Amino acid sequence: MLIQTPEQMQDFGLRLAKQLRAGDVVVLKGELGAGKTALAVGIGKGLGIEGVSSPTFIISRVHKAEVPLIHIDAYRLLLSDTRGFEFDDLDITTSKEQAITVIEWGDSLVNRLSDEYLLIEIAFGRADSERVLSASGIGQRWAGFSL
């Protein structure tokens, strides 16, 4: 799928949110500036949540809604050389089974959280603003999923 603007990325997230349900885990993979947070903002809007932003410095944020959104940015975890500063130690107060979890930079960590997840890869396109999205569903929940 080709995305040409940040607004289109948010719109895609809004449409994707309509297909998500409590317990789902979505992993967003892409370089810095690829649009992972814009996609998470759109998912939040689709869940009726305003004010979703990157949790880079706090690592995780829970947004309250009918189905809450757990938004994790694992970038700092991957860069940390501090022993004990681990993904498993995040104090997420909302059960992941009752929420939708979106993890930026989480492709190497997601197996600690779930055996089933949707991996969305965002790559830079030919033009500066273009992004190419691809999705891989891992597990029975995502069998047959396509963008």
Q: Where are the domains of the chain?
A: 2-142
117 and 26 in contact (C-beta within 8 Å)? yes
Q: What is the pLDDT of residue 83?
A: 45
Q: What is the pLDDT of residue 90?
A: 59
Q: Which CATH class is domain 2-142?
A: alpha beta
Give the chain's largest Cα–Cα span: 41
Give residue-wise pLDDT tens across range 63-90.
788 999 988 887 666 555 554 455 555 5
Q: What is the pLDDT of residue 117?
A: 92
State the first-to-last Cα distance of the chain, in angstroms, to the nearest integer: 7
Q: What is the pLDDT of residue 8?
A: 93
Locate tokens 């885990």: which residue?
25
Q: What is the pLDDT of residue 56?
A: 60
Given a cut of 80, whether residue 36 has pLDDT beyond it is yes
Q: How far is CA 109 from CA 50, 61, 72, in A?
A: 27, 17, 11
Greater confidence, 33 or 90? 33
Q: How far is CA 11 from CA 60, 84, 118, in A?
A: 23, 38, 18
Q: How far is CA 30 from CA 70, 89, 103, 121, in A?
A: 19, 24, 12, 6
Greater confidence, 42 or 90? 42
Contact residues for 51 (Cβ-Cβ < 8 A; gap 6+) = 44, 63
Q: Mean of the per-residue pLDDT values for the chain?
A: 83
Locate tokens 């030919």: which residue?
126
pTM of the model as a whole:
0.85
